[in-house]
């Protein structure tokens, strides 16, 4: 019985230590989330308007301007840019992103994958590690982007993707990331990065071509705008993922803290019952001994 009491006491101490860690991690994530949330909320309207403008320009050009980054061609080689976190302990966040990347490849590029013509670039360590475990070809050049999350660092990845697309190393580039809504909700998305998607007109929409006035020349302006807007789109996706990660970790640590509290309650009940049983046994032995002496 004393051994059993000691074991329960040790488990109580262990759970209490773990609970302190989960509480601390929740508080750290909550502090980081505020900053990350402000960054993506400020960035999103600007990035969405730029993307809308770029898609409209591509849709209205009708081949009158050479746009290499919008060129549609048969897909022989595909690139998937997977944005995950560097660390775990954030629930199913990274696992869901890896699952979506796998599903995107399976649904859209099964033949290319069978031939080994699908490459995954991981932004964040967990993405590269997860896809490697499933046997996909990965490039972890940009896995440390979150260590210094700046526009310049994210731009390196988008610039490399654009250069590879223009050279014909890849015929399509997909972006897989999580879109932040709030601390408890993230939407996992897979969307086309290259070639630049055109706006799909509604069934009842007018076929009138959008009329843009370009100053300076159309080709010069488009050549300058396209890379900058695409850099902004990837940066927005990374900011979304950063806020999503902190939200997911804060939620996961909050649940872990609650679970630890429930486990502590259960362990304390078990400890009190075991102690009460030990005391009862000792009292019984004392009374039995006293009765034997009197007898």
> Would you name the residues annotated as active-site residues?
90
The Cα 122–Cα 134 span in angstroms is 14
Alpha carbons within 13 angstroms on the beta-carbon side of residue 18 total 19
Burial class (CB in 10 A: 0-12, 13-18, 19+), 9: middle
Separation in Å, CA 230 to CA 92, 163, 274: 29, 12, 65
Q: Which residue has the tokens 């250069």?
A: 163
Separation in Å, CA 129 to CA 9, 121, 122, 164, 234: 38, 11, 9, 23, 21
Sheet containing strand 78-83, edge to edge, reads 137-139, 118-123, 78-83, 172-182, 185-194
What token pair was written down for 191? 């969307």
What token pair was written down for 62? 């009708």
The Cα 124–Cα 126 span in angstroms is 6
What token pair was written down for 255? 């649940």
């Amino acid at each position: 019985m004393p051994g059993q009491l000691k074991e329960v006491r040790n488990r109580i101490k262990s759970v209490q230590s773990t609970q302190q860690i989960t509480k601390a991690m929740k508080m750290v994530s909550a502090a980081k989330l505020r900053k990350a949330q402000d960054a993506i909320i400020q960035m999103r309207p600007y990035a969405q308007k730029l993307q809308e403008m770029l898609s409209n320009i591509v849709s209205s050009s009708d081949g009158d301007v050479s746009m290499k980054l919008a060129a549609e061609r048969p897909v022989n080689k595909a690139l998937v840019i997977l944005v995950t976190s560097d660390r775990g302990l954030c629930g199913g966040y990274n696992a869901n992103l890896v699952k979506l990347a796998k599903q995107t490849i399976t649904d859209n590029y099964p033949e290319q994958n069978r031939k080994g013509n699908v490459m995954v670039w991981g932004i964040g360590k967990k993405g590269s590690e997860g896809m490697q475990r499933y046997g996909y070809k990965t490039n972890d050049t940009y896995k440390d982007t979150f260590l210094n999350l700046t526009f310049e660092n994210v731009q390196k990845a988008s610039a490399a993707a654009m250069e590879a697309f223009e050279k014909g190393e890849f015929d399509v580039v997909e972006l897989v990331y999580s879109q932040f809504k709030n601390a408890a909700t993230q939407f996992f998305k897979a969307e086309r990065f290259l070639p630049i998607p055109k706006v799909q007109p509604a069934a009842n929409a007018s076929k009138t071509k959008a009329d843009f006035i370009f100053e300076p020349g159309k080709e010069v302006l488009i050549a300058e705008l396209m890379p900058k807007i695409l850099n902004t789109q990837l940066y927005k996706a990374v900011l979304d993922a950063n806020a999503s990660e902190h939200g997911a970790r804060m939620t996961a640590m909050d649940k872990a803290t609650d679970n630890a509290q429930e486990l502590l309650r259960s362990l304390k009940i078990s400890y009190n019952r075991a102690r009460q049983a030990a005391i009862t046994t000792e009292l019984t032995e004392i009374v039995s001994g006293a009765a034997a002496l009197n007898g």
